[in-house]
Every structure is written in C-alpha cells, then in structure tokens.
Chains A and B, each alone.
Chain A
Amino acid sequence: MFNKSFIAAAVVAVGASFAAPAMARDNLQIAGSSTVLPFASIVAEEFGNAFPQFKTPVVGSGGSSGGLRQFCQGVGANTIDIANASRPIKSAEVDACKKAGVGKIIEVQIGYDGIVFASRADKGSFALEPRHVFLAAGAQVPQGGKLVANPYTRWSQIDKSLPDQEIVLVIPASNHGTREVFEEKVTHAGCDALPEVKALDGDAKKKVCSSLRQDGRLIEIAGDYTETLARLQAQGDAVGVFGLSFYDQNRDRLKVATVNGVTPSLQTIGSGQYPVSRPLFFYVKGEHIGVIPGLKEYAEYFLSEQVSGFGSPLEAAGLIPLSNDERGKILANVRNGKTVQ
C-alpha cells in the first residue's frame, strides 16, 4: 500500500517537472563578470524593492567570457537576458550570438573600475611602474642587451626603490575580464616601453610582451578576489591584483601600491590620472525586451542618477560613475534600442 502512494507521488513529481518548460519566466536572469556582480546585485535588489510590479532579478557569476557565452546561447526563457562584462564584447562573440539568433545586443556602459595592486598591510609599500610589473611577470626579459629567461626573484633586483621581497604575483586567470586589462595596460605597456623591446619587430615584440613566466612566481586565480586575498594571507610576500572596490572594503588588511606615482582612488581613476582602469558594461538581449517583464526598466533604472550617479549606492560600493553627459547618451541609446553591429 505504501508503495502505491510512493509511486503515485513520484509520478506527480515527474509530471510536474516536465510541465516546467511551458512556464514563462517573470524575472530577469543576469550572469557574467564577477567585477560587475556586486554592482548588478545591488541594483537588482533595489530594483525589486522599488518596483513592486517586477520580481527581483537573479544575478549569476561566471566571468565576462562565461557570461557572454551563456548570453549567446540563444533566445528563450532558459537563456539569460543580460550579460555583465568588464570588457567590451568581441566581434567573435557578436558573431556567435548572431548564429544562435541573438541579433539585437544593446551595449550599456555603467561606469569605470580601477585595477589596483595591493600587498598585505604588514608588508612593504610598493611604488610600481608598468615596467616593474612586466620585469617581474614576463617569461623573457631583456638583460645586458639581449633577452634571457626571467632571472628576477626579488623585487629589489628589479628596482632599488622596491621592497626587498620575494616576487610572487597573484593575477586573475583568463576567464576574468580583469586579466585582459592587466595585460593591456600593465604588462604590455611596461614591455613596450623597454628600449630592448622597442628595437624588435612587430611579431617578436608581441611574443615577448605576451608570454608570462611559468615558474610558479605568477599565480593565476580563476575564482574571485577573496581567493586572491587568501593567497596573500598564506604567502606574506605576494602582491595581488584586485578591483578598487574590493581593496576599499578590505583596507584594514591590504596596502595599495601606487602606479606611476598615482594612488588609485575614485578621483584619480575618474579623472584618468591612474592608468589602470577600464569601463564596465552590461549587454541586454534585445529579443527579450517586452517578453521578459522589467528588462528595459532595469536597464533604465541602472542608468538613473540615484542608482549609478555621483553620491549613489553604487559609488559607495566602489563604482566610478559616468559623467552626467555620458550617462545621458547611453540612456538615449537604451531607449532607442541601438544595437551592437
């Protein structure tokens, strides 16, 4: 007898599970960059609170590339509506999207983020230049006029002004958009500036500048910044790459490095003085506007001054706001449905 009721219950449960696909989704599904995640989560929550007629959006992680891959899987309730990214979408990704039927991609820039180098609060202070970081991280570095396998083991060997500490650099892995900015604005910039590299031709130069050392002094972190922080706590000498907002909330444990003599802050990044910064984006699936309730409203709400302008909760959380002009232009693009080509 109890077997019968069990079977009946199982049948009901299985039946219910197959009825699921017929249900339409009534809240937004967002995924992507872990740098944008805290900001998007704050907006999602405030959005759910401010608009009683819409449900609170759900925000997933997965890195910029992971988010855009999910975004480009196609159109429908089981695909995400918005991809957060800490870099602009690539043309290959736009093509992949088109192939899957996602033709209307609306780009929304939300502000800027600074990438900072930080060491443990109880260790030496760093005044870095992109050149230093390349010499610490490159697989091959110029020495005595020719390229040799990276011989540096201590920062003080690179430059007398740097602390006498073991070189251990903890950087984000390639699933993070941050990695690209790190390479473009720090290691490549530092590499290009070296006189020995300047003498090389295009391909050789690119090869030297983009190969990083593999001897264990460069640690790649695929997870989030907490993992980088844990590394720093375990390996006292390590220098980590963080987002400005993460550093800001852990100032008691971390000491930030200056780059080219500029201390990263909302002001220096906003004004462009601090060199390692990048724009943050999210991408809206145009096909879902009008199908999934609240999609356009979310994008517009995100861009309102009270949410992402100066003095907003996002600024308090570490986002560097766009100027009112910039934000107005982007808001107009969202309203007109201007898509990425």
Chain B
Amino acid sequence: MHNDDASAPRTDPSTQRRLVERSLARRHGAEKRFRAAGLAAVFFGLGMVALLFASILAKGVPAFWQATVVTEVYFDPEIIKVDPRPVAQPGETPAQLHEREMAWQTQLTMANWNRIIENTLAAHLPEVTDARARARLRQLVTSGERFVLRDRVIADPALIGQRLTLKLLADANVDVWLKGNIDRSLPDSQQQLAPDVRAWADQLHERGVIQMKFNTTLFGNPDSRSSLASAGLAGAFVGSLFMMAIVILLAVPVGVASAVYLEEFAPRNRFTDLIEVNINNLAAVPSIIFGLLGAAVFINWFHMPLSAPIVGGLVLSLMTLPTVIIATRSTLQAIPPSIRQAALGIGASKVQMILHHVLPLALPGILTGAIIGVAQAIGETAPLLLIGMSAFVAAVPATPFDQSTALPVQIYLWQGNELRNFFEARTSAAIIVLLGLMLSLNALAIWLRKRFEKRW
C-alpha cells in the first residue's frame, strides 16, 4: 500500500478492516470488469459469426430451390427429323463409326429444339396464338434445356415420337421474378422480362406448371454462361476434389517424412535450426506468393497446362507442406520418450521403433494436422487465380490435366456475374456448399482424433 500507511503507527483494527474492505471491493470490481470484457469479446465474436452465417443462409438457401417447368414434352418426329442412329457395320473401323456417330449427333443438334420447347409451353397457354408471341414463350425456359433434350435423345433415340413428363429449368430471370428478387413494382422499363412473359410466368406458377423444385443442377452441372439457370458447381467441385487428392498424395507423405527425419534422426546443430526457422517462416508466407511461384515454375518452366488442377494441386501442396510438417513435429514431440526408450530397450531398431510405436501413436495428431492443412488448401483462392484457374470452364474435368475451376474460385466468378439478381443467391449457395465441405472435413478430423486418441 502507500508509504505513509506503512510508516504510520499501528492504527486501530476497525480502520485496518476498513482499508482491507476497500481494497477488496476494488479488486473484486477489477475481476468483474475483466471477466465481463472476456465475455463481451466471446459474444462479439459469436455475434459476428452468427451474423455472417445468417446473412449467407438467408441469401443462399432459397437458391437451392429453383423455378422449374414440370410438363409433358412431345418429341415430335416432324421436328426431330434424323436418320436412324449409325450402328457398326461389318468391316468398319471404330474411327469410321465414330465419325458417322458424330455426324448423326450434329444432325440431331441442328433439329429445331426451340420449337419443341415452344410447343410444350403453348400446350399450357393455348390463348397465345400469335406466332411472334409464341416464339417469346421460349423465354420462360432457360436456353440450355434444348441441349438437355437433345442429350436425352442421343442416349435413347427411341424417345422420338414419345411423350415424356420432364422437368425443364425456367429461365434465370423467370426465377428472379417469381422469387421476388427483383422489385415487382418497378415499371416495365426497369424489368428484365417483357410484361406478357411475366404474366405467363405468374399464370403457370399459379397453375403449378412452374414449381419451385430442389435444385439438383446446382450439383450436377458445370458452370454456364449461355444458360444462366443451369449454372452449377460440378466442374468446380471435381476440380477441388482433384486438387485435394494431389495435396493428400504429395504434401502429407512428404511432410510426415520430413517431420520424422527432423524429429527422430536429424542431429541438433545450426543447420537443422536454420531449416526449422525456415519451415516456420514458410508457413507464414502469404498464399499468393505460392501462386506466383507456381506460375513461374510449373507453367513457364515445366510447361504444364494452364488452369489445370494438377498445377493447382502442386501449388497448394507447397503451401500446405509447412503446416503438415509443423503439426507432425509437435505431435511427435508430445509422445513420451519412455515409449521410444522401451522399444529400443527390448532390441527394436530405430526404424522399427518409429514405424511400430511412434507413428501409430502420433497418427491422430498427424491426421488432424493433415486434414486441417487440406481444408485450408481447398479454401484458398489467390494462388489459383495466378495460374489461370479463374477461367470460364463449361465442362466437368475428367482428369487432373483438364482445365477446371475450384469451389472458392467459382464463388469469386459468380460474384462477378452480370446478372446480379440471380447470382447473388447462387453465390451464397456456393458458399454454403464450400462451408459444408470444410465443416465436414473438420468434423472428420475431430472424429479421427477422438477415435485413435491414446492417453498415457
């Protein structure tokens, strides 16, 4: 306490008691404030997370249901006039057959599929008789559906002449209109759809021809620009999956091997210290720098293909490597030395000691580190932009060497799409899918840790 208090002659007990009580009240107050500050910080953090999730969910969840025309489609043989599908003839090489097959498909593509969609819709709106108005009916259905119909016939040519109940995706602007994502009270000049098309959409929606159906195309289709309503995440998802596989195949074994060497074999000297410092520094390098490195080394030097998941996977592996090494090393350090000594003591070699005793015990920690590293890698966007993965790819990649995008890049691309009213929801839906993937990876990491955890 204060000097004058200490030097003062002993005061009577009541004064002393008063002094103590006063200081006690102050200390209790300080503790309360400290705890309140901590609690406030927790609530602030939670509140921000809740706000983020709430805004993403509120925007994105409706996008999982999309306006869909459920109707009977007549594959009119008068409109689809094609030769029978070519079959292998004796003495024909596969290349020749393929060529004839391609010609047949081209012929099929040239059929007037728009007319089929037009007739399908006109059957529901018989009052539309004017030829030009009928042609506008097409605006209700997204333009990509004509290729979906064609692909059905390619898969099964017997469909020609038949009637089939199908789900056709409505146009993006019809979806926006029916969901009210555009202000419905705006004047015609500010609307995307013509007044009659809007009236048809409302009419069909009321009659249950246009329904809000769960959006499977979001998961099954690659990205699309010519038929916005059919844009999906399949291409990006598969691209991300390929990259994830490459990271797991490269970064995890290399990272674990380096950590085991550094922890179990390497001598302690200035050189290994230097390596250790560098690994820690590497973990802190901003990811975009790995992108620059990847563009320079893999694309300009090794001449690897642009926008391919293989390059993305290699770049992300480099980025994840330090994370895996650090996580593995700290797990190895946490294993009690007694286990190593016991193994060596009963005559195990060092390799046996590591493979039979240390690594199995370290497995949960290594897996956790690896999964968290991989989860971080698949959420990464910046390095991928630099190796050309932000291109528009309208196909699902079949191998890691095909061009593709990745989930976070797809979010970035959709965020930049011109038709804001439609893609704001679509972007949030993509974010929900990415977050779902991340959360399940993290859950897997926790489950593995709990499953294999050993206590000593």
Contact = CB atoms under 8 A, between A and B. Distances in A.
Contacts of B194: none
B256 interface: yes
Given A37-B392, A42-B226, A78 B305 contact: yes
Contacts of A9: 249, 253
Interface stretch (A96-104, A204-212, A243-251, A287-295): A243-251
Contacts of A21: 302-304
Contacts of B391: 29-31, 58-61
A77 B303 CA distance: 8
Interface in A11-62: 12-14, 16-18, 20-21, 23, 25, 27, 29-31, 37-38, 41-42, 44-46, 48-53, 55-56, 58-61
A27 B416 contact: no
B291 interface: no
A53 B388 CA distance: 25
Contacts of A56: 393-395
Contacts of B420: 226, 229, 249-250, 253
Nearest to A53: B102
Given A13-B246, A46-B226, A60-B391, A3 B109 contact: no
Given A52-B105, A78-B299, A29 B306 contact: yes
A12 B310 CA distance: 13
B191 interface: yes
B352 to A, nearest CB: 11
A3 B304 contact: no
A76 B306 CA distance: 12
Contacts of A29: 306-307, 391, 403
A225 interface: yes
B257 A7 contact: yes
Interface string B163-196: 0000000000000000000110010011110000
Interface in B391-410: 391-395, 401, 403
A226 B415 contact: yes
A225 B415 CA distance: 11
B252 A17 contact: no
Contact of A245 (B257, B303, B418): B418
Contact of A6 (B143, B253, B306, B308): B253
Contacts of B143: 313
B314 interface: yes
A313 B308 CA distance: 29
B353 to A, nearest CB: 13
B192 A249 contact: yes
A27 B392 CA distance: 13
A44 B403 CA distance: 14
A220 B299 CA distance: 31
A10 interface: yes
Contacts of A16: 310
A44 B394 contact: yes
A266 interface: no
B106 A60 contact: no
Given A1-B355, A76-B303, A245-B418, A252 B190 contact: yes
A275 to B, nearest CB: 22
Contact of B226 (A12, A41, A78, A229): A41
B418 A10 contact: no
B419 interface: yes
Contact of B304 (A78, A227, A229): A78
A251 B253 CA distance: 54
Contacts of B302: 18, 20-21
B109 A49 contact: yes
A25 B305 contact: yes
Contacts of A27: 403
Nearest to B150: A49
B306 A78 contact: yes
A56 B393 CA distance: 8
B254 A10 contact: yes
A252 B253 contact: no
Interface in B290-349: 299, 302-308, 310, 314
A23 B306 CA distance: 12
B279 interface: no
Contacts of A166: none
B183 A252 contact: yes
B197 interface: no
A38 B413 CA distance: 12
Contacts of A55: 395
Contacts of B388: 31, 60
A214 B248 CA distance: 49
A328 interface: no
Contacts of A12: 249
A80 interface: yes
Contacts of A78: 299, 303-306
Nearest to A80: B306
Given A25-B305, A61-B390, 15 more contacts: A7-B257, A16-B310, A20-B302, A20-B305, A31-B388, A42-B225, A52-B105, A56-B393, A58-B392, A60-B307, A60-B390, A121-B190, A227-B416, A249-B419, A251-B189
26 contacts: A1-B355, A3-B256, A3-B257, A6-B256, A7-B253, A10-B254, A13-B250, A18-B302, A20-B305, A20-B308, A31-B391, A38-B225, A45-B227, A49-B109, A58-B307, A58-B393, A58-B403, A59-B391, A121-B190, A227-B416, A249-B419, A250-B419, A251-B190, A251-B191, A252-B192, A252-B421
3 closest A-B pairs by beta carbon, nearest first, are A60-B391, A6-B253, A41-B225
Interface of A: 1-3, 6-7, 9-10, 12-14, 16-18, 20-21, 23, 25, 27, 29-31, 37-38, 41-42, 44-46, 48-53, 55-56, 58-61, 76-78, 80, 121, 223-227, 229, 245-246, 249-253, 313
Interface of B: 102, 105-106, 109, 143, 147, 182-183, 186, 189-192, 224-227, 246, 249-250, 252-254, 256-257, 299, 302-308, 310, 314, 355, 359, 388, 390-395, 401, 403, 415-421
